[in-house]
Amino acid sequence: MNRKPSPRRRVGLHVEITRLLQERALTAIDIAATLEKEQAGVDSALRGMERRGEVIRMPHPPGTWAKWALRGKA
């Protein structure tokens, strides 16, 4: 399979999410809007990152969106 070389290397979604969360805790909606990605894909990536212990879901009151943060930054 021949692939054309791309001008810039593609970065995985989890890497982009990690870069965003280094600055501050964000909701999945904020992350999806910033990265211009589907929210379902961002939600899935965040749950996978939570399973691996990379991110945590911040405590939040009922009826509000949960914020996510990197484990060491919370």
Task: Dump pLDDT digits (tens) for 35-58.
Answer: 999 999 999 999 999 999 999 999
Q: Is 3 a residue whose pLDDT tops 80?
A: no
Q: Tell me the C-alpha to C-alpha distance, in Å, between residue 9 and each of 4, 5, 12.
A: 12, 9, 10
Per-domain residue ranges for the chain? 13-73
Q: Is 60 a residue whose pLDDT tops 90?
A: no
At residue 10, the pLDDT reads: 73
Domain 13-73 class, CATH top level = mainly alpha
Q: Angle at which helices 13-21 and 39-51 pack, to 10 degrees?
A: 80
Average pLDDT, the chain: 89
In this structure, what token pair is assigned to residue 33?
């809007």
Higher pLDDT, 11 or 25: 25
Cβ 58 vs Cβ 70: under 8 Å: no
